Structures are given as structure tokens and as C-alpha cells.
Structure 1
Amino acid sequence: MQDARDTFYAMLRDRIAAGNPARTVVVRGATRPGVVVVENELPAASVDGLSLTDVFCLRWTALRVEAGALPLAAMTCEVRYGTDGTTGAAGMDRGRALAAMDAELAFALQTEPQSAPKLSFVTGVVRGTNVFWSDPLFGPVATHGERLERVATVEVYSYQEAGEL
């Protein structure tokens, strides 16, 4: 299942970076595309989706596995993001900034193909199956102080191969 999670993250990171190269985040001194996986970061990095703004924070929240010769794993990915708007507009553009993030996420997840060859990031080997996902389900906008936030969920599916993490 870890290979599927890593593959999904890499796909989303690359599509977001291609769609908006300016969306970046600095974590532990390194600038990278503005997509992070909460479980992959050190707790001190403060990437819980509440402290970072203008970044997509992924959290894996549910797992179901259908038994069979090739078990099918269904994982729920929560994508949390928010914005304070820009300083140049004194935050008065935060609605537009959140709408832009909504559009970036929708485009990245709904662009064909809605699948990617599964890759083991430990060995660098392409697996024999794909990772595929649903369209995002966008939750309501929440306001926390001056920040607008949203959580979108995506169902991610993958067949479990022999020897896979």
C-alpha cells in the first residue's frame, strides 16, 4: 500500500508543479512543489495542514482491502489546504486564492489518465499494476481567523502485488 501512496503523491506533486510552478513550499530549508504528505515529514516541520498556507497537505485517513488473489486496496486521501490571501491585497483576495487552489487540485486529479503506473520508490522498480483514483469530493469552506480552508477527499485504489509494501 505504501507504493500506491507514494505513487499517488508523486503524481499529484508533479501535476500541481506543472500546472502552477510558483506553488512551492520550504520544508527543512528545501524548496519543493507545494504538496506534502503529513506522515512523511518530521513533527517539527509543522506540516499538519493547519500551519502551512497555500500548500496541499495529504493525509491518509482510511483503508479497506478486498480479499482475493490480487487484493484491492481502497484508501481515502484527505487533501487539506488553505490561504490567507496575498499581503499585497491585505488578504482581501483569499476567496479568489482558495478558488485557484480548488481549480489546481481539480485539474490535477481529473486530467486523463486518472491512473499512474505503480512504482516502488525504495527499489525504483515499476510494478505490474496501476494506481487509480476518484474525482475529488470538495468539503465546505471553513474559516479560521483570517484563513479560508478546505478539505477535499479522494479515493485511491490499487491492487496489492506479491512482495509489495
Structure 2
Amino acid sequence: MQNAKDSFYVAMRTRLSAINPERTILLRSAVRPGILVEEAEAPFAQPASAAPFPLVPPNVFVLRWLALAVDMDLPLTMVAAECEILYSTLGTQSFGGLDRGRAMSEMDQELLAMLAPFQTPKVNYTVQPAATMLTQVFWDEPVYTPMVMLRDRLTRSARVIVYSYQEAGE
């Protein structure tokens, strides 16, 4: 499933760069597109008051991998993983954060645009050069959660189920 997770992330990152090249994050002294995978980064500091959502960097999409399921009753084994995409905003400094609702709507639209079309080629990024595999990675439409306000921060998440057929050697 790692190839499918990597392929999904790279597709989202590439699409975000095309949709909004200004949405970036400075992480470990490098400017990157404003999307990251939680399990591949250092933990974020979490105050106890962060429930029900963890605090994530503002104006960035954070992919979090949750449940995993396997269907072996098919000619090829199909794996499904639930991906939660968290994002939050404080609005902009120039408007004193009063535009955070508009900023959240903009991120909602960006996420929907990143997810379409609902498939991407599966690629093995552990070899050089990266090798395109024989199957696709595909996913469902997103299910958005209600927006949560914590002081001056608006937070939302969306969940998608990401599917992939296991290929030989995976």
C-alpha cells in the first residue's frame, strides 16, 4: 500500500502546485507545496485544548492515514486505506484574521480541485528513476466534516478512501 499512498500524495502535491502555487510551507529550511504527510514529518506540538482536531500548521493540507482494509476475494488483492485531510486557517494578517471564512472556503475549493480526477497512476518512488506500475490508484469523493472554530482558527477535515490493487512484489 505504500506505493499507493506515495502516489496519492505526489498527485495531490503536484495538483496543488498547479492550482495555487502560492500555497507553500517552509519546512526544514525548504519551501515546499503546502501539503504534507503527517507520518513522514516530525510531530507537531499539541496543546490539550486542541480536541477534537489536532492543531496543524495553518494554510497547509495535512494527510493522515487511518484505517486499512484488504479484499483478497478478487483476482488481484485490493487494499483500501482511509485518508483524512486536515486543514486550518487563521485568515490573513492584513485583514486581522477577519477573512478566515473566505480563506477556509478557498481551501475547500482547492481540496476539491486537487482530488479531481479521482485517480492517478501508481508509481514506485523507491527506485531511481521512479517507475510507473501497471495499475492505478483511485479514490472516492471526499466527505467533509463540519468546520470547527478554536479561538481565531478555523479547522476542517475531509476523508477519502484510497484504493489500490496490489501488484507482484508489493
Class of the TM-score when normalised by the shorter of the 2 chains: over 0.9
Q: How far apart are the structure 1 equivalents of 2:86 and 2:56?
A: 11
Aligned residue in 2 for 1:107: 113
Structure 2 residue 164 is matched with structure 1 residue 158: yes
Is 1:134 the equivalent of 2:151?
Answer: no
Question: In structure 1, the residue corresponding to 2:105 is in which secondary structure?
Answer: helix
Please give the residue correspondences for 1:14-163 in structure 2 after superposition, counting only pairs within 5 Å: 14-43=14-43, 46=44, 50-68=55-73, 69-110=75-116, 112=117, 114-123=118-127, 124-163=130-169
After TM superposition, give the deviation of residue 32 of structure 1 in Å: 0.3
Cα RMSD after superposing both structures: 1.4
Runs of 4+ aligned structure 1 residues displaced above 3 Å come to: none
The answer to whether the 8 Å contact 1:36/1:47 transfers is: no
CA contact (8 A) 1:35 1:58 kept: yes
- Give, in angstroms, the shift of residue 134 of structure 1: 1.0
Contact 1:115 1:133 in 2 (8 A): yes
Contact kept? 1:86, 1:93, Cα under 8 Å: yes
Identity %: 45
Query: What residue identity is the alignment partner of 1:15?
Result: R
Q: Which amino acid aligns with 1:86?
A: T
TM-score (norm 2): 0.90
TM norm structure 1 = 0.93
The number of residue pairs the alignment matches comes to 160
5+ residue gaps, structure 1, are none
